[in-house]
Amino acid sequence: MLLSNRVAIITGGAVGIGRGIALKFAEEGCSVVIADILESEGKKTVEGVFKKGRDGVFVHCDVTDSRQVQDMASKALSKFGKVDILVNNAGGLPGVTPGRSIVDITEEQWDKILDLNLKSTFLCCKAIVPHMKEKKYGKIINLSSIGVVQPPDSVIHYHAAKGGVLGLTVNLAFDLAPFNICVNAILPGPVRTPFYEPLIGSMTGKEKDAFFADIAKKAVPLQRIGTPEDIAGAALFLASELSAYVTGESLYVAGGIPLSPHGDTSSI
């Protein structure tokens, strides 16, 4: 097993990509801490971890709140005695109505999206890095977005935050390299998860199917929408010793985006 006897914290691990990563890690021998505000869904993910023969725990945590993040880190260390892997996956577009111009975004919206998608990564790293430095080992995986390099123009604040994640990743990788801590980022392309609900929640089932089919046709060279398992495979590589000599990298997991620089990504 690639992650035998490892312990991982996965923020936003209750659903979607986070759940996919948690279950993949459990298959490879990893115990998992799910940090999320979605309690019932988070506990369901932990049940899935148990079914794969590994230990897990759900910790209710708003990752934009430094006190809750510190408490979550303390509970993880108390439960397992160590944290080998940190996956900063929490993020999203809560309450966002897409706008075509920066003038459509309020200061309050900007702050909310930056807190959830960038500040959260900072807070979780700040809480866990001291332990990893003491152990002289760690794997940190930050989730960014393909929209940083090939953006639609409808979620400027989200992609600004995810661009900040890339900057944090490379700087932290340099800072922590002497401590044998690898820090890398994944840039997912379009993946069908609850992430899209703020954008398509009012659509019927068939309309949603058509929405994703249209994205695949217009924007994705591999001509399909990604799955949480696609992202989980990349996360497994970055969390395991297969990537022991990889740090400060940004890995596109996006079906070939941005190979088509003129593809229509306006709906991603």
Q: What is the pLDDT of residue 193?
A: 87
Confidence (pLDDT) at 113: 94
Each residue of 203-247: pLDDT tens digit?
888 888 898 999 899 889 999 999 999 999 999 999 999 999 999
Please say if the pLDDT value at position 267 is more than 60. no
pLDDT of residue 98: 61
126 in a domain, yes or no? Answer: yes
In a domain, 46, yes or no: yes
pLDDT of 220 reads 92
Tell me if 109 is assigned to some domain: yes
Which two tokens mark 64? Answer: 């934009």
Instruction: List the domain range (segments joined by +) for residue 240.
Output: 7-253
**What is the pLDDT at residue 81?**
98
Closest CA to 120 of 47, 51, 66, 176: 66
Read off the pLDDT of each residue in 182-207 and give the average, rounded to a whole number.
87
Say how far apart CA 192 and CA 268 lie, in whole Å. 11
Name the more confident of 41 and 151. Answer: 41
Mean pLDDT of all residues in the chain? 93
Domain presence at residue 266:
no
Mean pLDDT to the nearest integer, 155-163? 92
pLDDT at 260: 66
Query: The domain spanning residue 217 has which CATH number?
Result: 3.40.50.720
Q: How many domains does the chain have?
A: 1
Closest residue by Cα to residue 19 from 195, 164, 170, 224: 195
The predicted pLDDT at position 203 comes to 86
Q: What number is the average pLDDT over the span 186-200? A: 86
Q: Considering the domain boundaries, does residue 99 fall inside one? A: yes
CA–centroid distance for 128 within its chain? 16
With left for phi above 0 and alpha for psi between -120 and 50, is residue 204 left, alpha or beta?
beta
66-80 and 120-135 helices, crossing angle to 10° = 30
Lookup result for tokens 């892997």 = 85
In whole angstroms, give the CA distance from residue 115 to residue 4.
Answer: 33
Its pTM stands at 0.94
The string of pLDDT tens digits covering residues 28-61 is: 999 999 999 999 999 999 999 999 999 999 999 9
Q: Is residue 258 part of a domain?
A: no
In this predicted structure, the answer to whether residue 265 has a pLDDT above a threshold of 80 is no
Task: Characterize the bridge pairing of strands 138-143 and 85-88.
Answer: parallel
Query: Is residue 213 domain-resident?
Result: yes
- Judged on CB neighbours under 10 Å (0-12, 13-18, 19+), 128 is buried
Predicted confidence (pLDDT) at residue 249 exceeds the cutoff of 80: yes
Residue with tokens 């740090």: 247
Q: Is residue 96 part of a domain?
A: yes
Q: Is 137 a catalytic residue?
A: no
Rounded to an integer, the average pLDDT of 185-191 is 96
Out of 93-97, 187-191, 232-236, least confident range? 93-97
Return the pLDDT at 97.
Answer: 64
The catalytic residue among 137, 158, 196, 245 is 158
